[in-house]
Amino acid sequence: MIDATDLTKCFGPLVAVNGLSFEIGRGEVVGLLGPNGAGKTTTLRMLTGYLPPSRGAVTIAGLDVLRSSLEVRRRIGYLPESVPLYGELRVGEMLEFHGQLHRMDRSRRRERSAFVLERVGLTERRTQRIDNLSKGLRQRVGLAVALLADPELLILDEPTSGLDPLQRMEVRDLIRELARERTVLVSSHILPEVEAVCDRVLILHRGRLAADGRPADLVRELGGTGHLSLTAELGPDTGQAAELLRKLPGVASLKVVDASQAANAGEEPINHPSLRSFELTGEGELAAVVGELARDRSWVIHQLAWQRATLEELFASIALDMNEALLDGMAPAVAPLAPLAPTAHTEPTAHTEPTTPTEPTAPTEPTTPTAPTTPTDPDAPGADS
């Protein structure tokens, strides 16, 4: 459906999108993810033909976006982030206008507008002026407009921004529903939203494509690992438990934790001679494997916590990684003391604090040469202005 090759957009000296290439097949629901300023909106604008790329090309449904611009525009339902609507018009009139722009005949306009209004739940607001609608309702009107011409491809730019949680959920449900029938490309900087809706994610950072794939695949491919903590009475296996666990398929790392350390916050410290705690990382269904082992060896499990790797985690790692790479290349003046090899600390950061992407600054591993990164870290998520 969408085929972008080497998409690049420069605004003067600023490179907003840099060498983006991807393909989106028919019927896919794809999330375009990235922090603010990552180039999401610019990418979408290039896809819709609003912005001509500085380099590269886009074809949509086999048509070049710039060359057969009108043909492409007819196939796209695009909802820009600002939800542009004529405030002085009524909801029905806005839809009528959009239908005319798309050269729909009168009966089809009437039929489709009734349908989409029903779909977004605005049927009884038909005669209300758009000016007087709330932000959430306007968003829905925008969706209705984008849907009106029954486009093959729906491109939604931050469809949930500025909405309260309830409205956000409504819109998310709506998108999920819409996704059943057509190709959808949604941009967002909010992770759970994309994870909830999309079967594929493109992660954009600083104008570059940082990752592309199914959320789960991504997690796996990019070294995203599950995290398991186990506290058990090991009985006779006390000595060899670590060895046994390490040999399990999929285990990437293992760490023995002091039982006293493991018994944390509020828990009564249990003094048992064979009680041990382990921290494991690895991929696959680690919890099941470990559980099976425990059953076989008759360990008494006090705690088995399994945490699957999340996109968010991945996202954070990418963000950090790219940030440093970028800073390395572009602005040596900001961090002159940070000539870090990008690969050197990917692992440790991901491993130490897997669930808190906002605080990747607490390196407990003495092996990690993290100290120089501190000056760059605070502006890591939003440094790209």
Partner 1 sequence: MALRSTTTKGSMGPLRRLGLVSQVIGTVLLGMIVVFLLNWLSGRPGLRLRLDLSADGSNTLDRATSDLLADLTETVTVDVFYRGEAPPLQAVAGEAMERVFRLLILAADEADGRLIVQHHDPADSTALQQRLTELKLTGFENCLVLSRGAGAERRVVLSLRGDLAEFDPGRPQAGAGFSPAAMIAYHGEEALVSGLMRVTQGSSVPIAFSAGHGERDIFGLDEPTDLGRLHTELVGDGFAVEKWRFEEDGPPRDELALLAVIAPQQPFSAPEAAALVKYVERGGRLLIAPRLDFDRGPGSVPDLVGNWGLAIDDELILRPWINAQGQMEDGRPECAQLGVRADGMSAGHPLTDALRRSERRVVMTFAHPLRSTPAQNRARALLVSGPYSWLDDGSSGTYDFIWQEANEVMGSRDLLLALELAAVPGALGASAIGDETRAGRVLLCSTPEAFANTWLEVNRDFCLGAFNWLTERETRIHLAPRTSVERRLAMGEGQDLKRLKRTVAWLLPGLCLITAILVGWRRRS
Partner 2 sequence: MRGTLVIMRRELFSLATSPFAWILLSVALFLNGVLFTAYIQLLDGDVTWALRFALGESLAFWALLVFLPPLFTMRMVAEEARSGLVEYLLTSPISDAAVILGKFLAATTFLALFWCSVPLYGLVLAGLGASPDWGALLGGTLGAILTSGLFVSTGLLASASTSTPVLAAFLALAFNLTWLALPLVTELLLGGAVSWLARVFSGGEGLGGASLAAAGDWLQRLVGTIDILAHFQKSFLVGLLDTTEVVFFLSWTGLFLFLAVRLLETRRWR
Helix, strand, coil content of the chain in percent (nearest 5) = 40, 25, 35
Q: Give bridge partners of residue 208 from the DSSP assignment.
A: 205
Among residues 162, 159, 208, 205, the alpha carbon closest in space to that of 35 is found at 205
Write down the least CB distance from residue 78 to partner 2, Å.
5
Write down the least CB distance from residue 48 to partner 2, Å.
5
Q: Does 80 bind partner 2 (CB under 8 A)?
A: yes
CB-based burial of residue 271 (10 Å sphere; 0-12 exposed, 13-18 middle, 19+ buried)?
exposed
Output 354-363 pairs: Cβ under 8 A, ≥24 positions apart: 354/225, 354/227, 354/281, 354/307, 354/309, 354/313, 355/227, 355/307, 355/310, 355/313, 357/312, 357/313, 357/315, 357/316, 357/317, 357/319, 358/316, 360/316, 360/320
For residue 49, the partner it binds in partner 2, partner 1, none, with Cβ less than 5 to 8 A by kind, is partner 2
For residue 18, the partner it binds in partner 1, partner 2, none, with Cβ less than 5 to 8 A by kind, is partner 1
Among 169, 244, 326, 338, binds partner 1 (CB under 8 A): 326
Binders in 69-108 for partner 1, by CB under 8 A: 88
Among residues 132, 182, 192, the alpha carbon closest in space to that of 155 is found at 182
CB 292 within 8 A of CB 304: no
Q: Where do we find the tokens 């309260």?
A: 164
Write down the least CB distance from residue 3 to partner 2, Å.
19
Residue closer to partner 2 (CB basis): 126 or 297: 126
For residue 121, the partner it binds in partner 1, partner 2, none, with Cβ less than 5 to 8 A by kind, is none
Write down the least CB distance from residue 91 to partner 2, Å.
15
Write down the least CB distance from residue 262 to partner 2, Å.
54
Write down the least CB distance from residue 335 to partner 1, Å.
15
Kindly state the number of chain residues that form the binding site for partner 2, as judged by CB under 8 A: 30
Q: Does 156 bind partner 2 (CB under 8 A)?
A: no
Q: Give bridge partners of residue 323 from the DSSP assignment.
A: none
Helix (H, G, I), strand (E, B) or coil at 81: coil
For residue 297, the partner it binds in partner 2, partner 1, none, with Cβ less than 5 to 8 A by kind, is none
Q: Does 36 bind partner 1 (CB under 8 A)?
A: no
Give the binding site for partner 1 (CB under 8 A): 10, 12-15, 18-19, 88, 128-129, 132, 326, 329-330
Give the binding site for partner 2 (CB under 8 A): 11, 45, 48-52, 70-71, 73-74, 76, 78, 80-89, 93, 97-98, 100-103
